[in-house]
Amino acid sequence: MNPSISIGLSFTVITSVLLKLIERQTAIIFLAIQLGAIYGVYLGFCLSVEEKERVFKTDQKNAWSLFDQQTSIEMIFVMVSIVIGVQSIQRQSAAIISLGYILHGVWDFIHHFTFDKVKVPRCFE
């Protein structure tokens, strides 16, 4: 079996067991924090792209041009995950947090085929 699949399945089992041991409110908070961390990993990989490989909108170097288009898109998805996480905690909604994880899967699929400059370690593929 592929080591990436083994690691993913192991974390799934561990997380599932932990979620059964804690109360619902704590579980939703845990899952919301985990969702934000997942999207943060995407941003971290994106920021690790060398500057010469980035595509900037202008040649000017100022605070607004520090991020290329790809990084800006990643930042938007991080903010979306934070909103989803906060809303799921405020409303104690498993449906909202589930939506966040479904979007994670969709984003993973899109990310795999469109952001070829991002050097993702093999264990995350």
Structure confidence by residue, pLDDT tens digits, 43-87: 787 777 666 555 555 555 555 555 667 777 788 888 999 999 999
Which range marks the domain in which residue 38 is found? Answer: 23-50+65-120
Residue 13 included in any domain:
no
Residue 37 included in any domain:
yes
Residue 2 included in any domain:
no
pLDDT band per the 50, 70, 90 thresholds, residue 89: very high
Q: Which residue type occupies 97?
A: I
Residue 78 included in any domain:
yes
Question: What total number of domains does the chain contain?
Answer: 1
- The predicted-structure confidence for 70-82, as pLDDT tens digits, reads as follows 777 788 888 999 9
Q: How far apart are CA 7 and CA 72, in angstroms?
A: 30
19, 27 Cβ separation under 8 angstroms: yes
pTM of the model: 0.72
Residue 114 included in any domain:
yes
Q: What is the pLDDT of residue 120?
A: 62
Mean pLDDT (the chain) is 79
